[in-house]
Amino acid sequence: MMIDDPSHEGPLSFCPLDDNEVPRAGDLVALDAEFVTLTPEEKSSGRNGRLITVKAAVRLVGRVTCVRGWGPRRGVPFIDDHISCEEEISDYVSKYSGIFPGDLDPTQSSHHRTYKKVRHLVDVGCIFVGHGLKNDFDMLGIVVPSDQVVDTVHLFHLPHWRLLSLKFLAWYFLDKHIQKECHNSNEDAGAALELYQIYLDLEAQGTVKATLAKVLDQARSPQPKETNTTDATTDDAIEPPLGKEAEEVEEREVYEHIQVQGAV
């Protein structure tokens, strides 16, 4: 189903698997999903005058990308589905999702078709790499065994500290400025895959904790790190809360609490 998918027409943002790339148990797959809002959240004034959420926003999966983590084409996407929706979408949340009106063409893909592709990868025993994967899999409606999940949001984390954003980690470790105008699931999945390799290298050297201590110092510091590209501060380092709180936080700019200067 992933080697030849007739549902896609026109230029592809991915390279389908060929006959020599059948996913097997233990193969790494970097995954990222983006979401759109079907119905907005509803708020009401509380007794103290502050707005409280009385009804959470309803979000749907709008795009799912899977990137090869094995073989000679490691880092190349092999699934990139924009998922159609028959219901009217109230907000594409384009700044965060990278999805715009017209992207979700009913002739291109469906939630069920994408579900089957990802479900197959789970069933054959692939290891998924990503940043904040729990939310992605919850929205897809797929339960993945914990030993098949590698989440960089937890790998690059020390106890008693807030989680660090993918944007900040990509800037710090990879010298890449991602999510500059909007999110791109191809880019985000690829960055998570690269960060996992960085983590494995640090683990082999026995320097994970020492390195994370330096990262956190940078996250707290207003001073830029030395870089050959764009000087950066740390206004984008904090990852939004996961789970229920993420829906509200992602649609506001708390997600931008720590920002990479010049990467707007």
* Confidence class for position 260, pLDDT limits 50, 70, 90: very low
Q: Give me the domain span that covers residue 51.
A: 28-256
Q: What is the pLDDT of residues 68-107, one digit of tens each?
A: 999 999 999 999 888 876 666 545 554 454 454 545 565 5
Q: Is 49 exposed, middle or buried (0-12, 13-18, 19+ CB in 10 A)?
A: exposed
Q: Residue 139: inside a domain, yes or no?
A: yes
Could you give the CA distance from residue 188 to residue 178 in angstroms, rounded to a whole number?
7
Could you give the CA distance from residue 39 to residue 111 in angstroms, rounded to a whole number?
18
Strands (E), 28-116: 28-39, 42-45, 51-55, 58-68, 77-82
Neighbours of 193 (CB within 10 A): 23
Query: Which carries the bigger pLDDT value, residue 77 or residue 241?
Result: 77
Q: Output the CA torsion sign for 235, 36, 139, 66.
A: negative
Q: What is the CATH number for 34?
A: 3.30.420.10
Q: In what order do the strands lie in the sheet with 77-82?
A: 77-82, 58-68, 28-39, 127-130, 149-151
Query: Which carries the bigger pLDDT value, residue 125 or residue 245?
Result: 125
Q: Residue 261: inside a domain, yes or no?
A: no
Q: Residue 237: inside a domain, yes or no?
A: yes
Q: Residue 69: inside a domain, yes or no?
A: yes
Residues in contact with 250: Cβ distance below 8 Å, sequence separation at least 6, in sequence order: 93, 96, 240
Q: Output the CA torsion sign for 137, 132, 63, 185.
A: negative
Per-residue tokens: 175: 């010298």
Q: Residue 22: inside a domain, yes or no?
A: no
Q: What is the pLDDT of residues 35-75, one digit of tens each?
A: 877 666 556 777 777 877 656 666 777 889 999 999 999 99
What phi, psi does 239 have (nearest 5°)? -80, 140
Q: Residue 116: inside a domain, yes or no?
A: yes
Provide the domain count of the chain.
1
Q: What is the pLDDT of residues 111-146, one digit of tens each?
A: 788 899 999 999 999 999 999 999 999 989 999 999
Q: What is the pLDDT of residues 21-37, one digit of tens each?
A: 999 999 999 999 988 77
In terms of Cα–Cα distance, which of 94, 97, 112 is closest to 7?
Answer: 112
Q: Helix (H, G, I), strand (E, B), or coil: what is residue 159? A: coil
pLDDT at 264 over 60: no
Q: Residue 7: inside a domain, yes or no?
A: no
Q: Residue 235: inside a domain, yes or no?
A: yes
